Amino acid sequence: MKANNYQINLGFEQILDLVKQLPRKEKLKLTKALEKEMIKTKLSSLLEAFKTDKISQKTIDQEVELVRASIYAKSKNK
């Protein structure tokens, strides 16, 4: 059996009214799904913002080692 696809245009207030009618459990599921979607969007934006070809992995590794050595040295002096 072929599934039919329907499309309806709903405004924000209409969607909000529908969500308010959902049982608590369904609202929680919807909340989690929306949070997951926002996290993906924010993570993608963050990764894109820091994306660069101007710095090599070797440079990153060297900087990490310098910071680690500095932190280790400070912890030894306590």
List of the chain residues with pLDDT < 70: 1
pLDDT (0 to 100) of residue 77 = 80
pLDDT (0 to 100) of residue 1 = 63
**Half-sphere exposure at residue 14, Cβ-oriented, CA atoms within 13 angstroms:** 4
What's the pLDDT tens digit per position in 23-38? 999 999 999 999 999 9
* pTM for the structure as a whole: 0.51
Q: What burial letters (b/e) apply to 33-68, b meaning 16+ CB within 10 Å?
A: eeeeeeeeeeeeeeeeeeeeeeeeeeeeeeeeeeee
pLDDT (0 to 100) of residue 15 = 94
